[in-house]
Structure 1
Amino acid sequence: MTSHAETTSKSDAFAVLNPFDQSTIGQYSYTSEDEALAALDEAHRCHVARDGWLSKSVRIAILDKLASLIEHRTDDLARCAAREGGKPLKDSVVELRRACEGVKVAAREIAQLHGTEIAMDLNAASAHRFAHTYREPRGVVLAISAFNHPFNLIVHQVVTAVAAGCPVLVKPALSTPMSCLNLVELLYEAGLPRPWCHALLTRHEVTEKLVTDRRTAFLTFIGSADVGWHLRSKLAPGAHCTLEHGGVAPVIVDETADIDACIPGLTRGGFYHAGQVCVSVQRIYVHRNVVEPFLEKLTASAKRLSVGDPLDPTTDVGPLISPREVERVDAWVREALTDGHTGRLIHGGRKLSATTYEPTVLLNPADDARISKEEVFGPVVSVYAYDDLDEAIARANAPDVFFQASIFTRDLDVALYAARRLHGMAVMVNDHTAFRVDWMPFGGHRQSGLGVGGIGHAMKEMTLERMVVFHSHRL
């Protein structure tokens, strides 16, 4: 699929590169400030004109049609996502199927956008009254997205806004705009009026003008913490936001854990999409009594992963999004192994090409190494031996992040103890940190973010709960 926004003639343009071979796969014009502000004005007018709001039944019909369109074009859309984002094709197909299911979830969740009766007549002051709440759209949603799931993230940010009845402007990562443009075109094809959704390929300074504009009622941001918190500080008074940043996802494997059972999930959770996932398994704290067999099995599993062209159906791990990221990850690994740090290289630790990095397993890097305290966003998993569960929990909780965490154990008391103490908005028991289904609440705390994602939860964030109180002596 191609988009109307593609260009080969304008000088104010940028290229989209295949992250594996760095070939140019598209060229697009930046959206100008005038164009962006005109789109915001058009979206704002859609919200102000209440009589023109999209009814729930219309929204459901649009999303039902959208799901059907995605389902019938999954192969083409997945190939586009793999080409621009570098996720292996087989995983991009799964992403598209998940996106299709997410659209269906959003359509179902529209029925849950309702209020409740508020009890009255509980005292003399509330006598002869009847009250209820209802939900209505907040206003224009500005969605700023990331590169790592170029289609499904847009579903989570744009389709939720449409389902909530909000006009939406979406600014995708400029390294992966094609999937976003495809989704917006599919929304139009499904019946969404064009003024209700605009894809904007803006530079940073224009994006910030949209954030600060009082007509922006809600910001949904997925990306780095530095940028997210900065943009939040620029929002107009009264605007709301959700921020989804990253984590340094910790896992604890206690001495009772079934090692054979946990290895496949931890391999998947750590190396899926070359580790470029906000809840990717990054730090694994393993009881010293079982660390050797654990390392042996994890290393053997990592060695079996095929690294290469994302369009090759046999590829398990594709490229990082840019050669610069490969250099950064390599520098972090080198730092963990040198400069007085204590880490040992168990497997990997090398660039396979300018764009790919070998799945890497480290043992006991220092807690103050960047690989231990910052989000690596690369195919590197570090294993740390521990002796005491409280020690493992304290080390797992040391970074100022709070997203998802895991505990592997056969001991119910250990599971409950760790689940209550690990810093995670969600703690998985006997599952990896990257587990997610799209209807569950999903989000970070502290440096990891603000607010709650997940299809239905995001829709509620994008709506206001208002109340009506009737007073009548006949009640």
Structure 2
Amino acid sequence: MSKQFIDGKFVESHSNETIEVLNPANNKPIGEVAKGNEQDVKDAVAGAVKAQKSWAAVNRVKRADIVLQLAAQLEQNKEEIARIYQQEQGKVYSAALGEVENSINYIKYMTGLAQSNKGEVLQNQVDHETIMLIKKPVGVTAGIIPWNAPIFILMRKMIPALVTGCSIIVKPSGETPLGTFKIAELLQKTDIPAGLVQIISGPGSSIGNLLAKNQQINLISITGSTGAGKSVMEAAAANVKKVNLELGGKAPAIVTNKADIDKAVKYIVMARIKNSGQVCTCPERIYVQSGVYDEFVKKVTDAMSKIVTGDPTSPDTDMGPIINKKQLDSIEQKVQDAVSAGAKVLTGGHIIESEGNFYEPTVIVNVDDNSQIMKDEIFGPVLPIAKFDTIDEAIDKANDSPYGLSSYVYTDDLKESMEFSNRLNIGEVYVNCEAEEAITGYHAGWRQSGLGGADGQHGFEEYLNTTVSYLRYE
């Protein structure tokens, strides 16, 4: 496929180049998409500008009713979307299907916010004058979608944009564009006006940069690496464009002496192997208090050693492949560097020899707090474990990172739970559970993990600007 989705139709790209899409489970080609160029972007922006003007004038409740039609299309086609998703991304089927179903729920929730969206009426110190805060759509937006959750994150950007009265230009990842173009087919079966959603495939270094610096795009949202986010922010700065950044993470998981160890092991393993560890909220560094350290290490090693890794289409598989060879080699390098510095692998620790990109579920101990494996994002199924003695020490270690997206705490002590919740300088604190951002919550990171956020009322309002109107009636 060398076509782009422009103004509600699949049209030939102005570029003759294509991007080959590989199945990470066997590295065999499963399709291709256009490697778009500047003219593709110009066409998409022109269509998005035109469509947004009339869409913004539609009553917001009517807009929501129209957007809700996409949920029905996803419901009818969810198995097919999940299968496409499995092929291009490598998730096990239950996870792939679960993401599509979560996307359906996301549409239902966000369209429901249309009726609760409200401005404010304020008193003024001036006599006979009232202040009104009016919420208005940002306008034309752009969304850069990652490869690790391409369907749900597409909805996370597209649905609030549409419901608030914006249009959106989507750039899918070159690793996982096929599911996004399938969604384009489903959009054609709804009453969502042509042009409100444009989809342009191509490299982030070119297409992403063109979107970020385009003067007619008023907001750009990216989910990706911190490096990619910085590039987008720099390009957007030329026009003082609003940016929404969900970037890298290095989530600490803290297990105290007062934790239910079996519960901690269960949830940490569950979170770590999710999408083969390729989720920015996954636990990336484990701190265990000295009183339960030996018990935890023994049990978590046993649990990780039993994870079945392999073909994501097999019902017996717990964990599928790594997205590509580059990422696979990055995981291997971090583990081997840690071992060279004195760390010890208790289970796993190697690439699995096969046609695909598979890495063994790994537990590694005796790691130095300042080592690369404890500082840099691994993005793979590796648990590096360190010991701590006091709660203050654990909090200091957890906060000592340029990232601040997610964290985990395991303790049955309410005081400790509150202490961590209040003192961890991190966007999300998961206490005695695994990471599963709630649609009604707010997913946002601190420091180099991002700006702005998604989900819930606060995420919805990312796509709104405020006009303050002063009404004098004397």
TM range (shorter): over 0.9
Task: After TM superposition, list the pairs within 5 Å mapping 1:236-315 onto structure 2.
Answer: 236-315=238-317
> Aligned-pair distance for 1:359?
0.5
Partner residue, 1:422: 424
Q: Distance in 2 between matches of 1:397 and 1:115?
A: 36
Structure 2 match to 1:110: 114
How many Å apart are 1:50 and its aligned residue?
5.2
Change (3 A) 1:159 1:79: same
Corresponding residue of 2:450? 449
1:36 maps to 41
Q: What is the deviation of 1:222?
A: 0.5
Q: Does 1:221 align with 2:228?
A: no
Which digits, 9 at most, give the CA deviation of each residue in 1:49-71, with x for residues without a partner? 35863331332122221111111
Shift of 1:148: 0.2
Quote the residue 1:13 is aligned against.
18
Using the alignment, how far apart are the partners of 1:109 and 1:464 within structure 2? 16
Cα offset for 1:380?
0.5
**Correspondence 1:159 to 2:163:** no
Please report how far the alpha carbon of residue 309 of structure 1 lies from its aligned counterpart in structure 2 after TM superposition: 1.1
C-alpha separation in 2, matches of 1:156 and 1:205: 23
Q: What letter matches 1:460 in structure 2?
A: E
Residue 88 (structure 1) aligns with? 92
Shift of 1:127: 1.2
The answer as to whether partners of 1:129 and 1:472 remain within 8 angstroms in 2 is yes
Q: Equivalent residue of 2:292, what SS? A: helix
Q: Which residue of 2 aligns with 1:46?
A: 51
Rounded to whole Å, the distance in 1 between the matches of 2:176 and 2:246 is 18
Letter of the 1:311 counterpart: T
- Length, aligned pairs only: 464
Q: 1:7 to 1:210 in 2, by over 3 A?
A: closer
What is the alpha-carbon distance in structure 2 between the residues aligned to residue 7 and residue 367 of structure 1?
Answer: 52
TM-score (norm. length: structure 1): 0.93
Comparing 444-453 and 179-188, the one that deviates more = 179-188
Output one character per residue of 1:378-410: Cα deviation in whole Å (capped at 9) or x when no partner. 010111111122112212221111111122112
Q: Report the CA distance between 1:92 and its aligned residue.
A: 0.5
Q: Which AA in structure 2 matches 1:16? A: V
Structure 1 residue 128, shift from structure 2 partner: 1.0
User: In structure 2, the residue corresponding to 1:283 is in which secondary structure?
Assistant: strand
Change in CA separation of 1:355 and 1:362 when aligned onto 2, cut-off 3 Å: same
- Which residues of structure 2 form unaligned runs of 5+? none
The separation in 2 between residues aligned to 1:53 and 1:35, in whole angstroms, is 27
Say whether residues 1:142 and 2:142 are aligned partners.
yes
Deviates more, 1:65-74 or 1:215-224: 65-74
- Asked if 1:459 corresponds to 2:463, the answer is no
Counterpart contact for 2:55–2:166, Cα < 8 Å: no
Cα 1:118–1:258 shift into 2, 3 Å:
same
User: Which AA in structure 1 matches 2:274?
Assistant: Y
1:405 counterpart SS class:
strand
Secondary structure of the 2:143 match is strand
Contact 1:275 1:379 in 2 (8 A): yes
Q: Tell me, what secondary structure is at the counterpart of 2:342?
A: coil
Query: Which digits, 9 at most, give the CA deviation of each residue in 1:302-358, with x for residues without a partner?
Result: 1221111111122111000001211110111000111xx231111110111351001
SS, match of residue 73 in structure 1: helix
Provide closer, same or farther for how the CA distance between residues 315 and 277 of structure 1 changes in structure 2, counting only shifts above 3 A. same
- The answer to whether the Cα contact below 8 Å between 2:251 and 2:285 also exists between their aligned partners in 1 is yes
Aligned twin of 1:379: 381
CA contact under 8 A between 1:15 and 1:28: conserved in structure 2? yes
Q: Give the 3-state SS of the residue equivalent to 1:289 in structure 2.
A: coil
2:171 maps to amino acid: K
Question: What secondary structure does 1:111 align onto?
Answer: coil
User: d(CA) in 1 for partners of 2:233 and 2:206?
Assistant: 15
Partner of 2:28: 23
- Report what 2:132 is aligned to: 132
Identity fraction in percent: 27
What amino acid sits opposite 1:39 in the alignment? A
Q: Counterpart of 2:232?
A: 231
In structure 2, what is the Cα distance between the partners aligned to 1:276 and 1:7?
Answer: 33
Q: Which amino acid aligns with 1:98?
A: N
Report Cα offsets for 1:426-458 as digits up to 9, x if no partner: 2122223x2311221001111111112115322
Name 1:74's counterpart in structure 2. 78
* Residues 311-350 of structure 1 mapped to structure 2, 5 A cutoff: 311-338=313-340, 341-350=341-350
* CA positional deviation for 1:194: 1.6
Helix, strand or coil for the counterpart of 1:424? coil
